[in-house]
Structure 1
Amino acid sequence: MSTLLEEVVQAHGGIDNWTKFDTATAALDIGGAVWHLKGQPDMFQGIELTASLRRQHVEITSPTAGWQGTFTPDAVRYGSLNNQAAVERRAPRESYQGHTQQTEWDRLHALYFTGYALWTYLTIPFLYTYPGFRTEELPEWHENGEVWRRLKVTFPDSIASHSREQISYFGEDGLLRRHDYTVDVMGGAQGANYASDYRNVRGVMVPMSRRVFAYDEARRKVDEPLLVSIDFREIDFQTE
């Protein structure tokens, strides 16, 4: 584990504390321009989730809209809360072949994207200590009057995520400030994901708010439009 990774893992609560927990539960709202572009504007408002912290498995429920969905890298399933008229897609990533940033999604497309994205966000930076991940510290970055240390992370093929290579930025306190990636399932769209409003949840520092923008060739944030907003209303960690 690199020195920077060791420091940021400790700042977020420490690996010994993290390994006590097996699952995360949360209530949250997701919005932003991407969902209108993709034809699913309100799908993830007022949702609840349960996520495994050791493997990629996320269950998402919308109590008000009356649906539930399950994400794994190999399959997504969507249906009503009474399990009627459920639909499933195997090898879901293959269904994005030929997609551009403007291609509309069905609900299974949206569920796969949201499932892997939330799982990634909930587990960073501890995720980077899991088997198969490779990290490299990059030169410092100046933004918002702060100096941020940067970690380039190469994901193993076994993990579904935005892209194989991603960059995380950490403040002087060791907490995640920004997370950059390209989105393979959106034709390589770029995302700068800003984390804020930290809360200590059972000893783990969790950003309760995320805001995603595009970035330009110099990696400078493009302020408009707000692509994705994520606001956690509640979050907790459990042991099985």
Structure 2
Amino acid sequence: MIELLADAIQAHGGLDRWKGHRRLTATIVTGGELWALKSVNQDPSPRTMRVDLHREWASVEPYGKAGQRTDFTPERIAIEAEGRGTVAERLNPRTSFAGHDMRTTWDPLQRAYFNGYALWTYLTAPFLLAMDGFKVREIEPWREGAETWRGLRATFPPEIASHSTEQDFYFGPDMLIRRHDYRVEIAGSFPAAQYISNPVSVEGIKIPTKRRAYLRDDNLMPVLDAPLVTIDLSDFRFT
């Protein structure tokens, strides 16, 4: 493990402490401009988000209506209903995004797939970068105001579903994550810069509670007119 990643993982609570947990549950509130572009009705009601920490699985509920939840893995996305089992399902869900751009409408399963892989990535970073198959290297730092944030470029293994194969993570002087850059491949590969802040400590693990994602220009500058995605997290619980 390279020194930058090791220092970041230690600053967030350490790998041993992380490995002592299996699942993370949180309350999530989501907003932003992306949903209108995708013709998705994203209401601001709080929901319950669950992710496994050591395999790529996620679920959010309610989804669509009360009593429904999603079930996400890279190979399958499903919507399940209390007492009725699976009500909708798609295997190999990433293939359904072929030809999509930033304004292509998403159906409920596509929205659920995006939510699943995105929140799993966010809630397990930076620890996921120590999993088998990830390749990481240090890149040029980013200057943000008076701070210099050290950069790490991660190449994701093919079996992990996420925004893009290459993603950049930036860490502040305290080695806590500050920014996450990627391209949203399933929506025309538009570039995004996500700013990450307001961490809390949960059983010794530092977890950010505020995320704001913006379009990014060719100079890596965020377009701050309006956030594409806003995510507020609270009520974290490990199991």
- The question of a shared fold, defined as TM-score above 0.5 by the shorter chain, is answered with yes
Match of 1:169 in 2: 170
Is 2:215 the counterpart of 1:214? yes
TM-score, L = length of structure 1? 0.95
- Deviation digits for residues 42-93 of structure 1 (CA, Å, limit 9, x no counterpart): 2674211221111111121118931211111011111433436701001000
Identity fraction in percent: 39
Supply the AA of the counterpart residue of 1:14. Answer: G
Paired residue type of 1:50: R
Superposed, which structure 2 residues align to 1:61-76 within 5 Å? Answer: 61-62=61-62, 65-66=65-66, 67-76=68-77
1:164 positional shift: 0.3
Specify the alignment match of 1:24 in structure 2.
Answer: 24
Check the 8 A contact 2:167/2:182 in 1, yes or no: yes
Kept after mapping to 1: 8 A contact 2:71/2:80:
no
d(CA) in 2 for partners of 1:219, 1:51: 30
**What is the identity, as a one-letter code, of the residue corresponding to 1:13?**
G
Per-residue CA distance 1:11-65 (angstroms, 9 max, x = gap): 0000111110010111111111001111113267421122111111112111893
Q: Which moves more between the two structures, 95-104 or 56-65?
A: 56-65
Q: Structure 1 residues 41 and 145, CA, compared in 2 at 3 Å: closer, same or farther?
A: farther
Distance 1:108 1:78 in 2: 7
TM-score (norm 2): 0.96
Distance 1:159 1:44, change over 3 A: farther
Report if aligned partners of 1:116, 1:161 keep a CA contact under 8 Å in 2: yes
Aligned counterpart, 2:13 = 13
Verify the 8 A CA contact 1:24 1:51 in the aligned structure 2. Answer: yes
Q: 2 CA distance for matches of 1:7 and 1:49?
A: 28
Unaligned runs of 5+ in 1: none
The yes-or-no answer on 1:117 pairing with 2:121 is no
Q: Secondary structure at the match of 1:200?
A: strand
1:48 is matched with 48
Which stretch of the first structure deviates more once superposed, 81-90 or 168-177?
81-90
What SS does the corresponding residue of 2:164 show, helix, strand or coil? coil
- List runs of 5+ in structure 2 lacking aligned partners: none
Distance in 2 separating the partners of 1:71 and 1:134: 24
| Regions of 4+ moved over 2 Å | 79-85
- Larger mean Cα displacement after TM superposition, 73-82 or 229-238: 73-82
Decide whether the 8 Å contact of 1:44 with 1:62 is kept in 2: no
Q: Which amino acid aligns with 1:28?
A: I
Equivalence for 2:192 = 191
8 Å Cα contact 2:63-2:70 kept in structure 1: no
